[in-house]
């Protein structure tokens, strides 16, 4: 199997660096991307790729049952299977949001539950690739690496810590103190990562970790490392696969550092080049109004991009003012006429809560994407029978603080909950309980 992949300059497509080199940026300072020998890949017919990937999907043959490693030829073709560090990521459920869709006047609305994953977010898709490559460099004695480090808004560090723990590789995580959820903080602690809570924001942690990893003793795990994008790009391929290789009309995806929206496009572009699909869906990148530099750039007609100072938001994992992958994201969005939308704290909280009432359990970032979808529907930009996929980036259970605050256990700045459902505290008395039930039923069935 002589497939081949290497790093190249993401801007110009020039240069070639082997994946075994420790390099995150091109000499010009731009981002790198992983390039594949597409001519070799095209030697296999589209139908044969679909058949191969379907045969592996969610089976147990190591490591191909993973949603990422099932597409190994298009991800990291030359790593030995025994060096792969996989926690069976990907293969997440695609939820037909039938009742919520009906409320919005839509018939074909789906939520891709990327948070139903080992550490509860889509970050697992990329981290399996990065940690596998590091494991390969260590096991094959190609490089001396002490460990892996990242800055994080909470989910990257949880994922890095888990994959490193599974491989026995030391992990170091830099977090903005007090700006992530309890669940996200406890994940790397439980997985025995060195957990550093710093008095700064994510952008500050990002600057520090870049300096910390400069001498290459620690491998940098942030998404400027293009290996993560290789794993994350499988999400779009997997969505198409789950629809029996049919392309949906719209995909709504939350964006912060903008690695994931870049990855979504890259995967879809590559399977289009392989002849597996013949069009790219309309993609809408969804930002929190509190951290919206991409939205502002889009509104300027892509004329200018200014980093912002990200303000507090329930959607803490996308509280990023200076996104690392902006050049990749902007290029892909411009090429494919992609859209950008934003949601306020009120809009994202209400959208998440309203959809929760139809059986979902949304994190605030998914709330951002749902709120943006509702704006597109309200403006008549989406047809009733369009097939729409909302990418849910994390599990709601990681964000119970903000959900509890919404339902009355606290205060969410700038939010007047439209769908609160606080618990009712009662004496353990059957009459009182019966009355409470009946009052509830009357309210529900008026
Ligand atoms: C990381 C993350 C995002 C944003 O992804 P980017 O690649 O930074 O744009 C969105 N939602 C959740 C839950 C995340 O953890």
DSSP 391-419: EE-BBGGGGHHHHHIIIIIS--TT---SS
Rg (CA), the chain: 22
What percent of the chain stands above pLDDT 70? 99
Give residue-wise pLDDT tens across range 80-131: 999 999 999 999 999 999 999 999 999 999 999 999 999 999 999 999 999 9
Q: Is the pLDDT of residue 444 over 90?
A: no
Q: What's the pLDDT score for residue 446?
A: 58
Q: What's the pLDDT score for residue 45?
A: 98
Ligand 1 nearest atom to the CA of residue 115, by list position: 13
Residue of 203 and 94 predicted with greater confidence: 94
| Residue whose token pair is 């879809």 | 268
Distance 21 CA to ligand 1 centre (A): 27
Distances (CA, A) of 236 to 57, 232, 241, 262: 15, 8, 9, 11
Distances (CA, A) of 414 to 290, 344, 374, 411: 11, 9, 20, 9
Distances (CA, A) of 357 to 157, 159, 249, 418, 445: 30, 29, 25, 12, 15
User: What angle is formed at CA 67 by the lines to CA 366 and CA 147, rounded to 5 degrees?
Assistant: 85
CA nearest ligand 1 atom 2, residue: 317
Ligand 1 nearest atom to the CA of residue 232, by list position: 7
User: Which residues' Cβ are closer than 6 Å to ligand 1?
Assistant: 121, 123, 155, 223, 254-260, 317-318, 363, 365, 393-394
Position 141 confidence tier, pLDDT thresholds 50, 70, 90: confident
Ligand 1 nearest atom to the CA of residue 398, by list position: 13
What is the DSSP secondary-structure string of 209-231? Answer: HHHHTTTSSEEE-STTSHHHHHH
Mean pLDDT, range 151-167, rounded to an integer: 96
Mean pLDDT, range 194-209, rounded to an integer: 94
Cβ–Cβ < 8 Å for 124, 66: no
Please choose from 393, 398, 402 the residue to mutate so as to test ligand 1's pocket, defined by most ligand atoms within 8 A of CB.
Answer: 393
Ligand 1 nearest atom to the CA of residue 223, by list position: 7
Distance 153 CA to ligand 1 centre (A): 9
Distance 259 CA to ligand 1 centre (A): 8
Distance 123 CA to ligand 1 centre (A): 8
Q: Which helix (H) or strand (E) holds 441?
A: helix 430-444
Distances (CA, A) of 290 to 160, 298, 370, 391: 26, 16, 16, 20
Give residue-wise pLDDT tens across range 283-299: 999 999 999 999 999 99
Taking the C-alpha atoms of residue 203 and residue 291, their distance in angstroms, rounded to an integer, is 12
CA nearest ligand 1 atom 11, residue: 393
Q: Is the pLDDT of residue 60 over 60?
A: yes
Residue of 313 and 142 predicted with greater confidence: 313
**Going along 255-379, which residue ranges are E strands?**
282-288, 339-343
Position 21 confidence tier, pLDDT thresholds 50, 70, 90: very high
What is the DSSP secondary-structure string of 247-289? Answer: PPSEEEEE-SSSHHHHHHHHHHHHHHHTTS-S-PPEEEEEEEG
Distance 39 CA to ligand 1 centre (A): 32
Position 443 confidence tier, pLDDT thresholds 50, 70, 90: confident
Beta pairing partners, 250? 282, 388
Distance 257 CA to ligand 1 centre (A): 7
List the domains of the chain with CATH numbers: 94-120+232-409 (3.40.50.1100)
Q: Is the pLDDT of residue 409 over 90?
A: no
Q: What's the pLDDT score for residue 330?
A: 98
Ligand 1 nearest atom to the CA of residue 256, by list position: 9
CA nearest ligand 1 atom 8, residue: 257
Please choose from 254, 293, 340 the residue to mutate so as to test ligand 1's pocket, defined by most ligand atoms within 8 A of CB.
Answer: 254
In terms of DSSP bridges, do strands 147-151 and 218-220 run parallel, antiparallel, or are they unpaired?
parallel
Q: What's the pLDDT score for residue 79?
A: 97
Distance 142 CA to ligand 1 centre (A): 32
CB atoms < 10 A from the CB of 4, how many?
13
Ligand 1 nearest atom to the CA of residue 320, by list position: 8
| Angle in degrees, 0-180, between the axes of helices 155-167 and 182-190, rounded to the nearest 10 | 20
Distance 436 CA to ligand 1 centre (A): 41
Distance 254 CA to ligand 1 centre (A): 7
CA 12 to chain CA centroid, Å, is 26
Q: Is the pLDDT of residue 395 over 60?
A: yes
3-state DSSP helix/strand/coil percent for the chain, to nearest 5?
Answer: 45, 15, 40
CA nearest ligand 1 atom 1, residue: 317
Cβ–Cβ < 8 Å for 360, 351: no
Position 1 confidence tier, pLDDT thresholds 50, 70, 90: low
Tokens in use for 298?
Answer: 């889009």
Mean pLDDT, range 250-266, rounded to an integer: 98
Mean pLDDT, range 13-38, rounded to an integer: 95
What percent of the chain stands above pLDDT 90? 94
User: Which residues are CB-contacts of 258 (< 8 A; sequence separation ≥ 6)?
Assistant: 285, 294, 323, 324, 325, 326, 328, 329
Tokens in use for 18?
Answer: 């082997």
Cβ–Cβ < 8 Å for 193, 166: no
Ligand 1 nearest atom to the CA of residue 329, by list position: 9
- The three-class DSSP label of residue 36 is strand
CB atoms < 10 A from the CB of 18, how many?
11
Distance 179 CA to ligand 1 centre (A): 15
Residue 215: exposure state from Cβ atoms within 10 A (0-12, 13-18, ≥19):
exposed
């Amino acid at each position: 199997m002589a497939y081949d992949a290497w790093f190249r300059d993401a801007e110009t497509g020039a240069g070639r660096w082997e994946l075994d080199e420790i390099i995150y940026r091109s000499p010009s300072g731009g981002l790198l991307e992983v390039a594949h020998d597409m001519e070799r890949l095209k030697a296999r017919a589209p139908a044969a790729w679909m058949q191969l990937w379907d045969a592996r999907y969610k089976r147990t043959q190591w490591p191909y049952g993973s949603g990422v490693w099932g597409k190994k030829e298009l991800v990291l073709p030359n790593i030995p299977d025994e060096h792969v560090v996989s926690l069976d990521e990907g293969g997440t459920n695609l939820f037909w949001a039938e009742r919520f869709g009906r409320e919005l006047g839509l018939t074909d609305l789906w939520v891709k539950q990327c948070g139903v994953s080992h550490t509860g977010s889509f970050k697992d898709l990329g981290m399996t690739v990065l940690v596998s490559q590091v494991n390969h460099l260590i096991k094959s004695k190609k490089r001396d690496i002490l460990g892996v480090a990242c800055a994080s808004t909470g989910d990257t560090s949880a994922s890095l810590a888990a994959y490193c723990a599974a491989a026995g590789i030391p992990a170091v995580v830099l977090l903005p103190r007090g700006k992530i959820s309890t669940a996200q903080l406890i994940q790397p602690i439980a997985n025995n990562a060195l957990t550093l809570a710093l008095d700064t924001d994510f952008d500050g942690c990002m600057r520090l970790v870049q300096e910390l990893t400069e001498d290459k003793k620690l491998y940098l795990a942030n998404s400027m490392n293009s290996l993560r994008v290789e794993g994350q790009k499988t999400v779009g391929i997997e969505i198409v696969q789950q629809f029996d290789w049919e392309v949906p009309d719209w995909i709504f995806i939350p964006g912060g550092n903008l690695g994931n929206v870049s990855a979504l496009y890259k995967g879809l572009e590559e399977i289009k080049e392989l002849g597996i699909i013949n069009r790219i869906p309309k993609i809408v990148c969804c930002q929190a109004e509190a951290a919206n530099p991409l939205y502002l750039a889009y509104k300027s007609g892509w004329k200018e991009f200014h980093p912002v100072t990200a303000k507090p938001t329930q959607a803490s994992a996308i509280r990023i003012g200076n996104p690392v992958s902006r050049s990749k994201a902007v290029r892909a969005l411009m090429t494919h006429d992609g859209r950008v939308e934003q949601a306020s704290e009120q809009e994202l909280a209400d959208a998440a809560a309203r959809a929760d009432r139809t059986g979902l359990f949304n994190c605030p970032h998914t709330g951002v994407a749902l709120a943006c979808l509702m704006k597109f529907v309200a403006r008549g930009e989406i047809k009733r029978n369009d097939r729409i996929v909302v990418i849910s980036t994390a599990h709601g259970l990681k964000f119970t603080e903000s959900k509890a605050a919404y339902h009355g256990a606290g205060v969410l700045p700038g939010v007047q909950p439209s769908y609160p459902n606080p618990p009712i505290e009662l004496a353990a008395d059957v009459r009182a309980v019966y009355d409470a039930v009946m009052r509830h039923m009357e309210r529900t069935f008026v």
